[in-house]
């Protein structure tokens, strides 16, 4: 799974349960990055967040959950249980038939390709031409019938190309200014590289939402 999907899904789940539409803190971003580096599956983190907030909601005396680190122990405990359960056990992907997987992948990519062309047709011509080259690459991948991890890696690279082009050509001054204002506090607390990565991530999220341009990754299958 690529960087954007992993971070954005965790962010969305935490903010939804916390009930306050605030940005995650630099400490939260660092924690998510450590989970990603340790290859903790996304579903484990999302379920841990749900369990922590379910337990929190039952308490009579409450202090606001302000940080994702509140879920850290639950994530690590659930991950340890998951690792133990995998010993000698086939994964879900291995249980599925190859033909069923190929059919699902093909259907997903064909749908995404149609949505991609439809949404990018509404964007400025110079961006649209760049997007058409990406669409053609996706078409060739669909025609190749490729599946598995190799396909996902290629799809993630195409997603990264789309993100880069959206940021460079589709972001307007107003959006950039608003984001800079909302992230001013974090800029003072984060090193330059971490801040830029977080800024690009949030900008990409806003651009994807505004334009409706879909993601190719099989994570959305």
- pTM, to two decimals: 0.62
Q: At residue 100, does pLDDT exceed 50?
A: no
Nearest to 49 by CA among 68, 30, 33: 68
Report the pLDDT value the prediction gives residue 86, as an integer from 0 to 100: 65
Average pLDDT over residues 132-150: 88
pLDDT higher for 48 or 29? Answer: 48
Q: Residue 135's pLDDT band (boundaries 50, 70, 90)?
A: very high
Taking residues 56-79, report their average pLDDT: 85
Mean pLDDT to the nearest integer, 71-93: 75
Helices (H), 58-191: 72-86, 92-95, 98-120, 125-144, 148-169, 173-182, 184-189
Radius of gyration of the chain (CA): 19
Query: pLDDT of 174-205, one tens digit each?
Result: 888 888 888 887 787 777 887 888 788 888 88
Question: Which residues fall within 8 angstroms of residue 55, CB to CB, at 6 or more apart?
Answer: none
- Specify whether the backbone of 88 is left (phi greater than 0), alpha (psi in -120 to 50) or beta: left
């Amino acid at each position: 799974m690529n960087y954007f999907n992993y971070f954005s899904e965790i962010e969305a789940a935490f903010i939804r349960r916390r009930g306050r539409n605030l940005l995650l803190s630099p400490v939260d971003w660092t924690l998510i990055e450590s989970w990603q580096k340790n290859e903790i599956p996304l579903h484990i983190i999302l379920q841990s967040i749900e369990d922590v907030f379910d337990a929190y909601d039952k308490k009579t005396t409450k202090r606001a959950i302000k940080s994702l680190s509140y879920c850290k122990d639950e994530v690590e405990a659930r991950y340890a249980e998951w690792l133990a359960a995998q010993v000698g056990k086939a994964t879900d992907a291995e249980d599925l038939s190859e033909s069923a997987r190929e059919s699902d992948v093909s259907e997903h990519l064909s749908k995404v390709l149609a949505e991609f062309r439809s949404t990018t047709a509404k964007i400025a011509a110079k961006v649209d031409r760049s997007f058409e080259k990406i669409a053609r690459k996706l078409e060739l991948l669909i025609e190749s019938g490729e599946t598995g991890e190799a396909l996902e890696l290629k799809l993630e690279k195409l997603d990264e190309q789309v993100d880069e082009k959206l940021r460079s050509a589709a972001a307007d001054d107003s959006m950039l200014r608003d984001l800079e204002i909302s992230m001013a506090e974090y800029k003072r607390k984060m090193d330059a590289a971490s801040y830029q990565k977080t800024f690009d991530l949030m900008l990409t999220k806003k651009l994807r939402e505004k334009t409706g341009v879909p993601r190719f990754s099989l994570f959305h299958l």
